[in-house]
Structure 1
Amino acid sequence: MHMRRLPLRLLAALATIGALALAGCGTQTAGAPRDPVVPGGDRTMRATEVMRLTEPHEQTGMTPLEGPVFDEHGELLVVDVTAPAGEPKLLRVNVRKKTSEPVHTDARGTYTSAQFSPYDGRIYLTDFSHGEIVSLAPDGSDPRIFFSGEVDGARMNPDDLAFDREGNLYLSDSRGMSEGEAKGRVVRIDRAGKEATVLADGLAAPNGISFDADHRGLWFSELTQNRLSYLLLDGSGGVASRHTAIRVDGGIAQTDSIAVDADGNLYQGLHGRPAMAVYDKYGERLATVEVPARAARRLESATNVAITPGGTRAYMTVSGPDGGYLYSFAALGRGIRQSNGG
């Protein structure tokens, strides 16, 4: 989730939230046909509207959606970043019936991503404004603060979240974003929530984060540099190497969240344009996913995506002055754990 592209409007909205706190698209199976990828070609893929989930909130004037993640029943969880206290901050969507229901709200959280832990099965949310990680039972009950406090002497602004197979957390920390300074980090927190380690620092507003298809390394995006980097891990909680992998030609749009399919393809959300760029693991741009031109006039960002587990139907969160929407398209590869946008 991008928190600086609209610095005055969005950051003011977050401040308002803090002040208030203080006072029918079906699932496609793995064997379903999909369009062939033309090597070396950047084709346009059209997304279709599934439903409007939210309307702009009166208190904040916006409703950016993020963190789509499938639960074990095939329903989609989505966070509404600027939802004020009393309005749903986490929603559960039945994409077949095109219905939604509230799962969680509270008085203070600014949640920018959601993920299920493979260790305890709970939902984990990143609270950007308060530097905390909150966990919930799968039904949205039993809220707990999993992690709070400083990491290496500085509080986090956690944006997106990924889990390794053992249930340890990996976060994009967008610290320094509001000042325009490269103070961002990639942070690892052990599954007990006791030990936090900085894996990379000096980053320019890191945003999206996801493991690659083999869980060997992490992809992460830097919003204000429009680039994706690859962090090869050493298998012991440390880093073996790091390099800039892809430079995104986004124009006024900026790199938001990332998801990865079973073939290793990267789905890079864009803030400032209701579209998504798709790359293979070697950095070749395969496709651009776009919403219809008429709808795009009142939409600003396609921040994130989730691909149905074992299938190829993808659902991306799209937001703008018209509200918060789900759009769908046919992904180039099957959905895996890394296909739930962090």
Structure 2
Amino acid sequence: MRRAPIRPLAGLVTLGVLALAGCGTQTAGAPRDPGTAEGDRTIRAQQVMRVTEVHEQTGMTLLEGPVFDGDGRLLVVDVTAPAGEPKVLRVNVRKKTSEPVHTDARGAYTSAQFSPYDGRIYLTDFAHGDIVSLAPDGGDPRTFFSGEVDGARMNPDDLAFDPEGHLYVSDSRGMSEGEAKGRVVRIERSGKDATVLADGLAAPNGISFDADYRGLWFSELTQNRVSYLLLDGKGAVASRHTAVRVDAGIAQTDSVAVDADGNLYQGLHGRPAMAVYDKYGERLATVEVPARDAAGLESATNVAITPGGTRAYMTVSGPDGGYLYAFEALGRGTRQSNGG
């Protein structure tokens, strides 16, 4: 997720470093009819509800990490919520209501995901380099991982789980300095072993497995590109290459999700929209909020597609508050399009 500079939170490092990305793109070739089922077309998302308002203490609100629980309720995190205000919320999208799930004194949580191994909620604390887990009801907070990886603390942004419950984290280390020090880190499900799979990255942000769990897609904020790590089936990297270059203007690449057909949903920061690609890098669609809403919104950070269905819920934030917008995805929802 990309963050605009904000005021420091009490007890936190300056959260101006919480700038992760969003973007728009174009593909080469003849223009497509936006009304057709194929090609670069516009999908108009509709407002579901406002979840949060701008916090007086931090001067902003930023929704991220949407993920459905087993009861079909949507969890989201508010990255900039100060101590005492909800940092994790549960939303009933049918009733258009929300309730607090978790808060604490210091966390700046940028993503949420349920582990397939122990069923707990895992949160990335970008500001402190920790990964925290909660019971499904939001209680029993535990620090799952903290400390250095290969001599440096992480700035963990998004995360993905493999089927065995091992974690794959986008580490945006170096972002505040504008240096390509970012990494993709694999953490064994016990939390004891962490391995760097890729380094020298430009503020990696979104991360998601492909539809077959053969490799990882990850976006790099300050290069506006999506890269692909092919894995060897044993937790190591077989190859790596740049897969998609995103022409976004002032916007940057934020979180990325993948549907059952392998399509990529690339969140945009600096524009309340998402770009959709197929697995070969062809631009399929742009998801946009209605024009009347766009002036008060700045980022579409992430999306969760209903597991087994096509109803998608996009987290969108700006001076008007933090919102959920809904649209019909191009493919069904899976674990790779549910959180991270």
**What TM-score, normalized by structure 2, do the two folds share?**
0.92
Distance 1:250 1:341, change over 3 A: farther
Given candidates 108, 111, 119, the residue that maps to 1:110 is 108
Deviation at residue 18 of structure 1 after TM alignment: 1.6
CA distance in 1, matches of 2:175, 2:58: 20
Q: Which one-letter code corresponds to 2:240 in the other structure?
A: R
**What is the SS of the residue equivalent to 2:307?**
coil
The equivalent residue for 2:37 is 38
For residues 93 and 37 of structure 1, the distance between their equivalents in structure 2, rounded to whole angstroms, comes to: 33
Distance 1:19 1:218 in 2: 30
Superposed, which structure 2 residues align to 1:288-307 within 5 Å?
288-307=286-305
Contact 1:258 1:341 in 2 (8 A): no
TM-superposed deviation, 1:341? 3.4
Corresponding residue number in structure 2 for 1:91: 89
Alignment of 1:108-147 (within 5 A): 108-147=106-145
Partner amino acid for 1:222?
Answer: E
Superposition deviation, residue 294 in structure 1: 1.1
d(CA) in 1 for partners of 2:256 and 2:204?
Answer: 11
CA contact (8 A) 1:218 1:230 kept: yes
Counterpart of 2:45 in structure 1 is: 47
CA, structure 1 residues 300+136, in 2 after alignment: closer, same or farther (shift >3 Å)? Answer: same
How many percent identity over aligned positions?
A: 84
| SS of corresponding position for 2:292 | helix
RMSD: 1.4
**Conservation of the 8 A alpha-carbon contact between 2:35 and 2:41:** no
- Quote the Cα distance in structure 1 between the aligned partners of 2:50 and 2:8: 21
Out of 177, 182, 189, the position equivalent to 1:179 is 177
Pairing 1:13–2:42 present: no
Q: Note the alpha carbon deviations across 1:302-327, whole angstroms, 9 max, x for none.
A: 00000000000000000000000000
CA deviation digits over 1:122-169, x for unaligned, max 9?
Answer: 000000000000000000000000000000000000000000000000
Encode CA deviations 1:255-285: one digit per residue, 9 max, x unaligned.
0000000000000000000000000000000
Q: Which residue of the partner structure matches residue 149 of structure 2? A: 151
Measure the CA separation in 2 of the matches of 1:17 and 1:336.
Answer: 37
| 1:23 alignment partner in structure 2 | none
Partner residue of 1:101?
A: 99
Partner AA of 1:320 in structure 2: G
Say which SS state the counterpart of residue 294 (structure 1) adopts: helix
Residue 62 (structure 2) aligns with = 64
Offset of 1:211 from its aligned partner? 0.3
Moved over 6 A (4+): none
Give, in whole Å, the separation in 2 of the partners of 1:96 and 1:38: 28
Aligned pair partner of 1:317 in 315, 318, 321 = 315
In structure 2, the gaps of 5 or more residues are 15-33
1:248-327 matches, within 5 Å, as 248-327=246-325
Aligned residues: 321
Mapped partners of 2:286, 2:142: distance in 1: 39
Maintained 8 Å contact 1:17/1:60: no
What displacement does 1:17 show? Answer: 5.4
Q: TM-score, normalised by structure 1?
A: 0.92
Structure 1 contact 13–82 (Cα < 8 Å) conserved: no
CA deviations over 1:25-62 (Å, ceiling 9, x no partner): xxxxxxxxxx99634x2000100000000000001010
| Contact persistence 2:68–2:339 (CA under 8 A) | no
